Structure 1
Amino acid sequence: MVKNLKNKHRLNLLGLIETKRGIVTRYDVARLWGEDGAGWEYVGSEGASVGLLLIWDESVEERQGDGALPRSAEDFKAWIQDMELVDFPLTDRMFTWFRGRSCSRIDRAMFSLEWLEEFLETRVRGGPRGLSDHCPIIVEDNKMRGGPRPFRSLDSWFTHEGFIRMVKEEWRGLGEIQFTDKLKALSIPLRRWHKANFSDMDKKITTFEEEIKKIDDLVSNGVYDGTMEARRKALKHSPMVGFRDGLVGRICQDEAVKLEMLPSAEEIREAVWDCESSKAPGCDGYNMNFIKRCWEEIGLEFTTAVIGFFQTSRLPAESNISWVALAPKFVGAREIKDLRPISMVRCVYKVISKVLVRRMR
């Protein structure tokens, strides 16, 4: 009833008396208001006092510097209400997009009421935006617990003049063990080296992020001058089956034999260089840029690992592990068919796949 009243009259402010509630939560407000783009204050019921609740539409103050909301924004708000989604406010900032003196809360995190019943202490904050116009949206809940930070190779390591020399020394010191095990073992000295040589980089990034946040806060509060934008920018897997044209067709025996032939060292190297250097790494933590830049030292063993698959038709268990992330194809995705799988595989598996794909072209 309250929600229908609010929608019918397009209310921006609503006051209720005799709530008979000692405590009013965000969940209560979302059920009444229809979305969580709302602020509220209440007086709980106690004894003869039956309680007061005041709710208002915070989106009226969500945009600064660009005037009234366009029709598309009004349609979007109506869609949120129809889907019964809760549009959470940010706990640490007013806006998520900044350009010059204009700022707006374009980026949002929305939840179903079922989600909020399961995760009662959900909160949303804006992450550091760096040089982007947009802030990332971070969803947190007390049920979530952080784990150990996974290993990741960084392209910035190659800017250090002693990095390649260190990799060569550590790689040779690991002796004759399986290539994938060797990569895993190498991550330990790489972590140590990063801490000794790049720990200050993390501190510098944090300092820059804090500086940008200060500028954003000033703009959010209406303080802006011509030097701010310049200051902000300165901080900155049957081999007999093939796929053609989307249809499945059988390939001839000669084509199948060609797929199973041992690749040459040059063919493997070309496949490595055909891979995007800085795409997200698999669960081993190494991207292809690391493999390319350290090819002089690890290339022979990498090539042997790839040839080993064509000789035995087997992969070490560690090489066959993939991480799969499901990305929604559109806002409001609810079913599996609405999600796009993104597979992050280890570097050896990736190159074997690239060799086979290049042969099928």
Structure 2
Amino acid sequence: MQFVHHAFTSSDHCPISVKFHDQIHTKAPPFRFELMWTLRDDFSKLLKWLKKRDALLDYKRIYWQQKTRIDKANFGDNNTKYFQNHATIRRNRNGIKQFINKDGALFIDQDLIQQEISNEFKLRFTKNHLCHFDKNEDFRSISGIITDADNNFLTSKVSKEEVKETVFNLAADKSPGPDGYPAEFFRKYWDIVGNSVTKAVLAFFHSSKLLKKVNHTFIALVPKFDNPQSANHFQPISLCSTIYKIISKILATRLRSVLHKVIHPYQGAFTPNRFIQDNILLAHEIFNSFKRKKASNQSCRTIKSILDNFCTISGQFVNFDKSTFQCTRNIDRSLRGSFRGILGMNEEAHLGKYLGCPLIDGRVTKNMFESIINSSCAQLSKWKANSLSQVGRLVLVNANLASKGTFQMQSSLLPSSIHNKLDKINRDFLWNKNPTQRSPNLIGWHKVCLPKSLGGLGIKFSEVANKTLQMKLLWKILMEKDNIWVKVVTKKYLRIYSLFEHKPNSVCSWQWRKLMSIRDMFRKGLRWQVGNGSNIKFWTDSWVFSYPLTRNIDGHSNLDLNLLVKDFITPDKQWDVSKLSDIVSNDIVNQIVNIPLPHNDIPDTLLWGLSVDGNFSTKTATCKIIMLCNSSIKIWNETRYKDLNNPDKDVSVRNTTTKEEIWWEKPKNGFLKLNFDGSKIDGNKAALGYSIREHNDTWQK
């Protein structure tokens, strides 16, 4: 619809004409089995069934949830309005109103748009003759990787049980292919269709032939941007039939057992314990090192030769139109033009993003991470808040933080301004507030973000979530010595000093300096299990308590901080009590001698002391950070002491507020410790509680 204002003529009114555009006619969608149908065994009684309100609500919720393609969002109630609105917006967003082809021609007619899009993607999926595999390449120098045992397993006969297990491991409600049936249909009615499905799958592995209809695939175009208009604005994905998915899943499951052999360790994905974030972290370190390198025409020719050889051997093709290079300030301008000619790439002042994360090559600004803010605003929009209950909003806030910010948080520590904006977006959405209006919240955000065990809602502070994910990198440095990124940073930064002794400087990459800033907080969660004692520092490591022994010593200047635990273990694997008594109190000696020593010479084990299995977890790290950073936590290091020999004499009274974890320290021998706290109930009433204990933990009444 278009409104046109015309000029004044003889009247004092301005005429307006309305032009109606031709209605977009869409073709009928292909058949698709709806998951809501699985709620009833007999479809013939569907009308009677719809009269029941509870069943109708389930019917509506599952129907609209399938239409929205929302994964992992169990909102705790029906929220049908939310699913309906989301499905409507999704349909409007995915509609192609106009299309611009590669020649710049604009198309509005739907039939012409369909034809142009088909031509574009047929050309894209056609073999590129410039990219080929050289059959004359000599691979005799490469030794065999797949053993006979591996090959026997890969080619072994597929069983009926393997087919059924594969079907039940498929995602239940993923978009179906041309057959229209999702995996949930086959699981629901396996007793009816299971025999036929199994025969069809086994027939393929027996004959190596696949029916054309099974091999048919829908190409779905997922918009990369709002209002897509060209083929480059879409991401094509294949929607295969369920039989095809079962066959490919069986093959993928078997290949998974040998992928670690055929994929090079430098490849950071596709195999267990390898993550794409390693590539991003490596990119930070590589480009940081390049800043101090001197480029030349010969180095550019070497890079170009490596890329050409890669294309020849792999059969793939590098798109140099999308590739760029960057020069440091010490490169002469005349050389830069020569580099462009050799590499066939354009020069850029900034490298932009790599795998969705910005490459930091200079001063860090909040604009580098603005995309996280924009995606969070789109995810937590006002219409969604109006359509969801508070329980639904709570779930969506947690899902938003887990999906939108986590990827970049795993690779770098975001600026504080970004964290504040993310918390504000989450806060406004949870309370369904207008972001432009200022109004008090019902409950303080620091209370809302407490764990559920402490009375909160379990929402994570953005900064806390970021730090816990960065702590995983510190844990990886300690535990995964064979990881490619760990090898690089160890050789680059940790050749002389350990992780906790290393002092970063301005030459280090920005990502590494940020990572080192949270070492002290991370170290508070570590705990050593004593083996031979050769790796544990007696004073500064946590091996007796959850904190170092230096905390129990008033002055540290005279301590030998290089002492190791092995210095206090006798040759017959016993604690040297006399040597321990010379430097620590009897209470600490008693704690140490209760630590069992192994009879064999086994190395010490570093554990994450906050989890049961000793492995790092973001959940326990979150609780640790909240305990350390919440300013409302008060610790009474010293309270009122009474001398047992002179009960009327007060020795000392002192209380402090600090950002440390809560623990209880024993009083000195011959003293009592009084711990107390009070609170106001209502009006003028108050309550007071206290406890008195001796140095041996005996309670006094």
Higher relative contact order (CA 8 A, sep 6+): 1
Normalising by the residue count of structure 2, what TM-score does the alignment of the two structures yield? 0.21
Work out which of the two has the higher radius of gyration on C-alpha atoms and give 1 or 2.
2
Is the strand fraction higher in 1 or 2?
1
